[in-house]
Amino acid sequence: MKRPVLIAVALTLVIALTLPAASVAQEEVTLNWLEWWDPEFSVETMDQLVAGFEEMYPNIKINRTAVPWGNMYENLVTSAQSPTAMYDVVGMEWIWMTGLDKLGLFEDLGPWIAQAPEEWQAQRVPGTAVQWAGMTEMIYWYILPYGLAYNIDMLEAAGVEPPTNWDDFVAAAEALRNEDAGVYGFAISAGQNNSAVYFYLADLMQQLGGHFLDEEGNPNFTSPEGVQAMEMWKEFYDAGLAVPGSLAETHTSTREYFSTGRIAMIWDGPFIGTIAHQVNPDMRVAYAPAWQNETGGYMWSGSGLAMAANSEHKEEAWLFLQYLLSPEVAVMMTEATSIPYGCNVVLDEVLATSEDPILREIPAMLTQDPEYNYFQQPIPEYETTHDTLMLAIQEILAGDKSAQEALDEAAAVWQEEIDKVREE
Amino acid sequence: MTTRARASTMAVPAQRRLQSWIKQSRGYLFIAPAVIFLLVVMVYPLANVFVTSFTQIDTRERTQEYVGLDNYAALLDDSTLWNSVRNTVIFTAASVVLHLLIGGVLALLLNEQWLSAEVRNFTRGVLILPWLFSTAASALIWGLLYHPFGTLNYLLMSSGLASEPVEFLGDRALALMSLVLVNVWKTFPFYMVMILGGLQSIPVELYEVSRVDGAGRLQRFRHITLPMMRPVILAISTIDIITTFGHFDLVKLMTFGGPIRSTETIAYYVWQTGFRDVNFGYGAAISVMMVVVLSIGVLVYLRMFTAREQMYGETTTAL
Q: Does B261 touch chain A (CB under 8 A)?
A: yes
Residue A320 burial by CB count (10 A; 0-12/13-18/19+): exposed, middle or buried? buried
Most confident stretch, A80-89, B161-170, B173-182: B173-182
H or E segment to which residue B313 belongs: none
User: Which chain A residue lies closest to B59 (C-alpha atoms)?
Assistant: A103
Query: What is d(CA A108, CA A134) in angstroms, rounded to the nearest whole number?
Result: 9
- Residue contact A247–B260, C-beta within 8 A: yes
**pLDDT tier for residue B313 given thresholds of 50, 70 and 90:** low
Query: What is d(CA A302, CA A333) in angstroms, rounded to the nearest whole number?
Result: 14
- Starting at the edge strand that comes first in sequence, how are the strands of the sheet with A285-287 ordered? A265-268, A147-151, A285-287
What residues in A contact B258, CB-CB < 8 Å? 191, 247-248, 394
User: Which chain A residue lies closest to B144 (C-alpha atoms)?
Assistant: A253
pLDDT one-digit tens code per residue, A169-212: 999 999 999 988 889 999 999 998 888 899 999 999 999 999 99
Q: Residue B8: pLDDT above 70? A: no
- Residue contact A247–B170, C-beta within 8 A: yes
Q: What's the half-sphere exposure (Cβ side, CA atoms, 13 Å) at A163?
A: 24
User: Which chain A residue lies closest to B251 (C-alpha atoms)?
Assistant: A248
What residues in B contact A398, CB-CB < 8 Å? 172, 259-260
- Residue contact A383–B272, C-beta within 8 A: yes
Q: Residue B178: pLDDT above 80? A: yes
- Residue contact B149–A73, C-beta within 8 A: no
- Indicate the residue of B62, B169, B258 with minimum beta-carbon distance to A394: B258
H or E segment to which residue B159 belongs: none
- Residue contact B256–A192, C-beta within 8 A: yes
- Look at residue A1 in the predicted model and tell me its pLDDT: 46
Query: What is d(CA A172, CA B267) in angstroms, rounded to the nearest whole number?
Result: 43
Query: Cα torsion at B20, B21, B25, B26 (round to 10°)?
Result: -50
Per-domain residue ranges of chain B: 1-37, 70-133+175-312
Query: What is d(CA A148, CA A155) in angstroms, rounded to the nearest whole number?
Result: 13
What residues in B contact A263, CB-CB < 8 Å? none
Q: Tell me the nearest-neighbour CA distance from B169 into chain A, angstroms.
A: 6
Residues B237-255 as b/e (b if ≥16 CB within 10 A, e otherwise) read: bbebbeebbbbebbbbbbb
- Residue contact B170–A398, C-beta within 8 A: no
Query: Which of B80, B179, B278 is the mutation pick for testing A, counting most A CBs within 10 A?
Result: B278
Tell me how far the alpha carbon of residue B56 is from its chain's centroid. 30
Query: What is d(CA A259, CA A239) in angstroms, rounded to the nearest whole number?
Result: 24
Contact A305, A90 (CB under 8 A): yes
Residue among A93, A88, A92, A103 at smallest CA distance from A133:
A103
Helix %, strand %, coil % for chain A, to 5? 50, 15, 30
> Which domains are assigned to chain A?
3-143+301-361 (3.40.190.10), 147-297+379-423 (3.40.190.10)
Query: What is d(CA A354, CA A367) in angstroms, rounded to the nearest whole number?
Result: 16
- Record: fold of B70-133+175-312: MetI-like fold (1.10.3720)
CB atoms within 10 A of CB A220: 18
- Residue contact A400–B147, C-beta within 8 A: no
Contact A343, A323 (CB under 8 A): no
- Indicate the residue of A99, A244, A248 with minimum beta-carbon distance to B258: A248
Query: What is d(CA A123, CA A344) in angstroms, rounded to the nearest whole number?
Result: 5
- Residue contact A247–B60, C-beta within 8 A: no
Q: Per DSSP, which regions of chain B are E strands?
A: 55-58, 63-66
What residues in A contact B260, CB-CB < 8 Å? 247, 391, 394-395, 398, 400
Contact A410, A381 (CB under 8 A): no
Query: What is d(CA A153, CA A317) in angstroms, rounded to the nearest whole number?
Result: 45
- Indicate the residue of A383, A394, A395 with minimum beta-carbon distance to B276: A383
H or E segment to which residue A219 belongs: none
- Residue contact B175–A245, C-beta within 8 A: no
> Beta strands A374-375 and A299-307: pairing type?
parallel
Residue among A410, A389, A334, A417 at smallest CA distance from A125:
A334
CB atoms within 10 A of CB B122: 12
Amino acid at A108: D
Residue among B43, B41, B40, B72 at smallest CA distance from B56:
B72
- Look at residue B100 in the predicted model and tell me its pLDDT: 96
Going residue by residue through chain A, which has 424 residues, state the pLDDT in tens, using 9 for 90 and above: 455 555 555 545 544 444 444 444 467 999 999 999 998 889 999 999 999 999 999 999 999 999 998 889 989 988 888 877 789 999 999 888 988 888 889 999 999 999 999 999 999 887 788 888 889 999 999 988 999 999 999 999 999 999 999 999 999 999 999 988 889 999 999 998 888 899 999 999 999 999 999 988 899 999 999 999 999 999 999 999 999 989 988 898 899 999 999 999 999 988 899 899 989 999 999 999 999 999 999 998 889 999 999 899 999 999 999 999 999 999 999 888 878 898 989 988 888 888 889 988 988 888 889 889 887 888 888 888 999 999 999 999 999 999 999 999 999 999 998 888 777 7
User: Which chain B residue lies closest to A309 (C-alpha atoms)?
Assistant: B60
Q: Does B148 touch chain A (CB under 8 A)?
A: yes
Collapsing DSSP states into helix, strand and coil, what is residue A147?
strand
Q: Per DSSP, which regions of A246-400 are E strands?
A: 265-268, 285-287, 299-307, 374-375
Collapsing DSSP states into helix, strand and coil, what is residue B206?
helix
Residue among A192, A181, A356 at smallest CA distance from A267:
A192
What residues in A contact B256, CB-CB < 8 Å? 191-192, 250
Collapsing DSSP states into helix, strand and coil, what is residue B147?
coil
> Beta strands B55-58 and A374-375: pairing type?
unpaired
Q: Does B77 touch chain A (CB under 8 A)?
A: no
Q: Does B277 touch chain A (CB under 8 A)?
A: yes
Q: Tell me the nearest-neighbour CA distance from B259 into chain A, angstroms.
A: 6
What percentage of chain B reaches a pLDDT higher than 90?
67
What residues in B contact A243, CB-CB < 8 Å? 148
Amino acid at A107: E
Query: Which of A262, A394, A416, A424 is the mutation pick for testing B, counting most B CBs within 10 A?
Result: A394
Give the DSSP letter of residue B221.
I
Interface A-B, measured as beta-carbon pairs within 8 A, has a size of 72
Q: Does B165 touch chain A (CB under 8 A)?
A: yes
Q: Residue B318: pLDDT above 60? A: no
Query: What is d(CA A319, CA A325) in angstroms, rounded to the nearest whole number?
Result: 10
- Residue contact A104–B276, C-beta within 8 A: no
CB atoms within 10 A of CB B76: 8
Q: Tell me the nearest-neighbour CA distance from A7 into chain B, angstroms.
A: 43
Tell me how far the alpha carbon of residue A367 is from its chain's centroid. 18
